[in-house]
Structure formats: C-alpha cells, structure tokens
Amino acid sequence: MDDAPVTETQAPEPPLRGPARIQAYLKTLPDAPGVYRMLDAKGDVLYVGKAKSLKKRVASYAKTGGHNERIARMVADTAEMLFVTTASETEALLLESNLIKRLKPRYNVSFRDDKSFPNILLREDHRFAQILKHRGAKSVKGVYFGPFASAGAVNRTLNALQRAFLLRSCSDSVFESRTRPCLLFQIKRCSAPCTGRIDEPGYKQLVDEAEAFLTGKSRAVQAELVADMNAASESLDFERAARLRDRLRALSHVQAHQGVNPATFSDADVFAAHNQGGETCVQVFFFRGGQNWGNRPYFPRHDRDLPTAEVLEAFIGQFYDERPAPTLVVVSENLPNQTLLAEALSLRSERRVEVLMPQRGEKRQILDMALQNAREQLGRRQAENGAQRELLEATAETFGLETPPRRIEVYDNSHIQGTNALGGMIVAGADGFEKGEYRKWNIKSTELTPGDDYGMMREVLTRRFSRLVKESEADEAKAKWPDLVLIDGGPGQLAVGVSVLEDLGVEDVLLVGISKGPDRDAGREHFYMKDREPFRLDTKSPVLYYLQRLRDEAHRFAIGSHRKKRSKAIGANPLDEIAGVGASRKRALLQHFGSARSVAGASLADLEAVDGVSGALAKKIYDFFHVSG
C-alpha cells in the first residue's frame, strides 16, 4: 500500500491586534451615536467608551501615532471590539456608565460602590406610622427621606427624631402584642400608641411634624413647638412644657450634627475632587430639604495621567447609574461634557437636573469646604498607604518573601465545646483590610471529635484551597491566590496546613503559624514556618504589632460569626420548620399555648381549637411532633 501523499500546511496567521484590527471595523460602522467596547485576546473588556459618531471615534484609534501612553497601550492590547448604536448621545452616555460600573474595565475610571445608601422611612401602611432605617428597593408604602451618607448619620438622626417626635420604631408584630408600654416610653422616646397612651389624631400630628421637619420646614416646626411650650407654661402645665422643651432640645441636637445647612438651595449633591500623585479623592456631600445629611469619600481607580475633570465626570455618571439625581449637582471642575451629563441625569431621574460649578456665594463656600475635606482625606489615605507599604515590605523581609505580599489571608476557628463550629478567613493587602473578601465556613464534617481544632482547620483549608485550585484551572487570571497565609495556632496547626497544600499540589503559598506565648501574653508570640526554627520578634517591632492586628481581626471575625450562629440556633423555633405555619399562625399558636413546648405536647383536638388552624394543618403540626417509630 502506497504511503499517503504528504501536503505542507502553513501555520495560521496570528490574529490581527492593535490599530490594524481596529481599522478592519471601519467599513461597517455607522456615522451614529453609540457605545463601543475594546477587548483583549482573552475576551476581557479593556475599555468602554461612548461616541457621538462611532465611525469617527473608532477611526481616531486606528491611527498609528499621536496617542498618549495610556491610549497607546490600550490600542495595542485590543483584539476585538463590540458596538451598540443608540438613539442619541445622551442614551450612549447612560449605557456607557452602566457598562463601566458592571464590567469595571482596566482603562476606565471605576470605583467600588457595593452598598446602597440608607434612608429614613415613615411607613404609611399602618394607622400608627413606624419610623425606621431602610436600605434597598423602596417597595414599602411610605415616605422616604435620604440618602444619608452612612449608617452612623442615619442612626444619629433617627435617635434624635424619636426623642423629638416620639414615633414608634417597633415592628408590627411587637406593636400588636404589647399590653403595657416598653422601655422606650419610659425614657421618653416613644408615645406608646401600642397601649393607647396617645390617640390616633394625636399620633398623626406627631407624624406630620416629623415629615415637615425632614422636608426642610424645621424652623416652622420649632416655632410651633416653642409656641406650644410657652402656652403650656402660662397655663401652669409645667409637665407638658418640660416635655416640649425636651423635644426642642432633640431637634437642636439633629441640627448641631448637620453642620452647614444651606439657605439658597434645598436638594443637592456636592462633588469635590482633589488629585495628588496620580490618586483622586471625590468627596460627596448630601443635602436634602435644606439639611446636610452627611458626606462620604470615594477613591476611584483610574490611570495616573487622567485629568481630574475627566475622572470626576466618569465618577458622577457611574454614581447615578442606579439612583436618581437631585435637582442640583454641584461640581468642583468644569466637566468636558457637562451639558450632556445634565441631560443624561435629567433623563434618568425624569426631572430637570442642573450640573453647576459655582464661582461665588453660598454654593461656592460649601464646595470649598468639600474640597478641603477631599484634600485632607486624600492626604490621610496616602500617609496610611505609605505606612502600609513599609509594613508589607518589613513583613516580606521577616518571612523571607521576595516581594511585599499583595494578599494576606488569616484563618481562625471558633466554637464552644465543639458546638456551632465555624472557620473564618480575613484578607489584608496594600489598602488594609479587604472586608468584601472575608469568608466563613460552617464545619460540616460529622467525623470530627467536638473541639478538634486540627480537624476543623484541615476542613477549612481544604475547602478554601480546593476551590481556589478549580478557579485557577478555569481562569488563572481571576483566581485570587494569597502570597502569605497566617494560621492562628502553633506547630500542630501549621503541620495541618502544610499537609493540605501538599495534598493539593500547591507549592507557592507561604504558611506561617502564629501562637501566643506563655499565659497567652500578647507580645510574646511565637512564629512557626516549615523548615525553620520557631522564632519571636522584638516586642517593639512594628511588624509584630501589624501581625497581632491581623490575628486579632481574624479572631474578631470568627467569634462574631460564631455568636451570630449560636444566637440563631438559640432563637430557632421548631414551628418555623412546619410547612403552612407562617408568622400569623405561629403567633396564634404561641398566644394560645404559651410556648413551642406546649404546642408540641398538645392534642389534636386542642390544636384544632386554635383560631386560623384548620383540621388538616392541626394534623400536620401534631404529626410533626409525634413521629412514630
């Protein structure tokens, strides 16, 4: 049999990248507004941009010269582009902001915004309105006041409002079950509508006063209270006058914490950006109803040579991606697309929004105050980062790492005599503690002896690094490998960790055990490493203080998670496990029998006698507690 003919095949040409690849898209691109995405060879998004004319904008990237260093790198890495045409440039700007926030491309300005802002909610679905803190979707019927810059700001305001307007904060179930006033009534922070200490019209007046205060009519409310106080005093009703005086003091307390309250505008957000050394701090102040509801700093990620105005514009677009803008947005820079941004915010908020950089007057004074805050906040952050870099360099030297660790993971376990056992992991790096990366694991193994710390550590490390190995096999670039792992414990825990990593074939992670010295004295910690004698650090060493802080944070996180788990277990009610027994039927059963234990011992006839419990449900409850065999 003759041999098959041999044919020479040429190796496929490497795919086009850079300007040549971008040039290939120009033939089919429309001269219309839209959004484009630039992707690298792996398919990761490098950059998201918007354009009034996609054809003209992409043509500017196809040129082989004239780009700054950032654009040149981005163009060189581009292997593919995706396009979406829009009806207008305004819509393109909105879509661009949404995609940047969702995809977080390498060459765009982006920032972490993983939490919604808290609001104060006055519920309107109950005849005695409840006042409470609220986050998330505004699905509950009521009046929302916010946003507040932080949970601390809203909590301080809530506490003062309770003293000023005596509104209830308890849940409906607690409200309905009260037979006598709670402690809040005794300390003059609630008017106790649950037990009839105030009638419905009187409570409605308190709600109206609170709503007026929160919508900016604070002076009118205070004037009315002063008049009532004087009238009560003149009629010798000194007890009522004293109550009104205490309410006035509470209102003054709210205003004292607010600092600057503007007179020339009601609702506005103030954005002040300060750049130094290639880093930017954006300080955001919130004003609603003519009142200052706090401020919050942000540190967006961006290329070091990007102008401050461009950083601020991109930041604002993403900031309002999922929340409506107020009628006024005050900025510290003349933005490149200021008019377009105002149109986009107006379209999203469904009302006219003005974007303004004031030059004089009260708005300018408030903006200057925000700028001062941004400068100071950035200075503190850079000083802390400098100190943090020095600590990481010293840590690397202490443990023999070639470079400062970018990611440090610290593990600790928590349990009480083996019950409610769990393991915790905290993460630290160049920016300090990375709380979004913290993890906890419920100990699942049924073969462990209660209190077996070694077995628990083995399970936690096995689960963590097994998952990491799988993630690395799927996409090595996205797997978050630690450079240094600290284990709370001595040579036994270290041996467990070394064994787990060897079994999984992990070789490039440094393990260190850290244990307290005799009598568990802080400062006399011993450190354990594979193939190295145990050692201690100087009691005044900054590295020792840093490692102690890491260890203590891991312990705090683990014990806190354990306490939550234990409290949940203590508060668990067997009625919650029965299908068909919701909150109202559970309440009816407990009110009828007094406890879950009494429900468990009740006869079928007794269960059927409870209001709202049908015969079928009574049989289901009875069978749940009387399993045969």
Q: What is the mean pLDDT of the chain?
A: 83
**Strands of 80-85's sheet in order across:** 45-51, 34-39, 80-85
Domains of the chain: 19-103 (3.40.1440.10), 119-258 (no CATH), 268-380 (3.30.420), 407-569 (3.30.420.340), 574-625 (1.10.150.20)
Residue 497: the pLDDT is 92
What six digits make up the tokens of 515? 């244990």
More confident: 383 or 419: 383
More confident: 23 or 8: 23
R_g of the chain computed on alpha carbons: 31
CB burial of 269-306 (b: ≥16 within 10 Å; e: otherwise) equals: bbbbbbbeeebbbbbbbbbbbbbbbbbbbbebebbeeb
For residues 165 and 205, what is the distance between their CA atoms, to the nearest angstrom? Answer: 9
pLDDT digits (tens, 9 = 90+) for 191-226: 899 988 889 888 988 888 888 877 766 667 767 777
Residue 580: the pLDDT is 77
Query: 389 falls in which pLDDT band (50, 70, 90)?
Result: confident
pLDDT of residue 176 exceeding 60: yes
pLDDT digits (tens, 9 = 90+) for 576-607: 767 778 778 888 887 777 777 778 888 888 88
What six digits make up the tokens of 77? 């890495």
Query: 232 falls in which pLDDT band (50, 70, 90)?
Result: confident
The CA distances from residue 119 to 137, 155, 214, 299, 425, in Å, are: 11, 10, 11, 23, 31
Residue 35: the pLDDT is 94
Lowest average pLDDT, out of 69-73, 251-255, 303-307, 370-374, goes to 251-255
What is the three-state SS of 117-136? CCEEEEECCCCCCEEEEECC
More confident: 127 or 476: 127
More confident: 8 or 434: 434
Query: 453 falls in which pLDDT band (50, 70, 90)?
Result: confident
pLDDT of residue 236 exceeding 90: no
**Which amino acid is located at 165 in the chain?**
F
More confident: 524 or 525: 525
Q: Identify the CA nearest to 267 among candidates 145, 142, 370.
A: 145
pLDDT of residue 137 exceeding 50: yes
Average pLDDT on 480-491 reads 90
Average pLDDT on 503-509 reads 87
For residues 189 and 160, what is the distance between their CA atoms, to the nearest angstrom? Answer: 9
What six digits make up the tokens of 263? 């007179």
Residue 240: the pLDDT is 72
For 232, the 3-state DSSP assignment is helix
More confident: 466 or 587: 466
Residue 475: the pLDDT is 72
Task: Please identify which residue in the block is written with the tokens 């163009």.
Answer: 75
Query: 275 falls in which pLDDT band (50, 70, 90)?
Result: very high
pLDDT of residue 237 exceeding 60: yes
Percentage of the residues of the chain whose pLDDT score is greater than 70? 87
Query: 12 falls in which pLDDT band (50, 70, 90)?
Result: very low
Residue 523: the pLDDT is 60
What six digits make up the tokens of 215? 């919508």
The reported pTM is 0.67
For 610, the 3-state DSSP assignment is coil
Please confirm whether the linkage preceding 147 is cis (ω < 30° from 0). Answer: yes
pLDDT of residue 315 exceeding 50: yes
pLDDT of residue 294 exceeding 60: yes
Lowest average pLDDT, out of 269-278, 443-452, 585-594, goes to 443-452
The CA distances from residue 147 to 105, 258, 286, 296, in Å, are: 28, 14, 7, 11
pLDDT of residue 65 exceeding 50: yes
pLDDT of residue 418 exceeding 50: no
Residue 11: the pLDDT is 43
Task: Summarize the chain as % helix, strand, coil (round to 5).
Answer: 45, 20, 35
For 44, the 3-state DSSP assignment is coil
The upper half-sphere exposure of residue 614, i.e. CA atoms within 13 Å in the direction of its Cβ, equals: 4
Task: Let me know: does 345 contact 353? Beta carbons within 8 Å.
Answer: yes
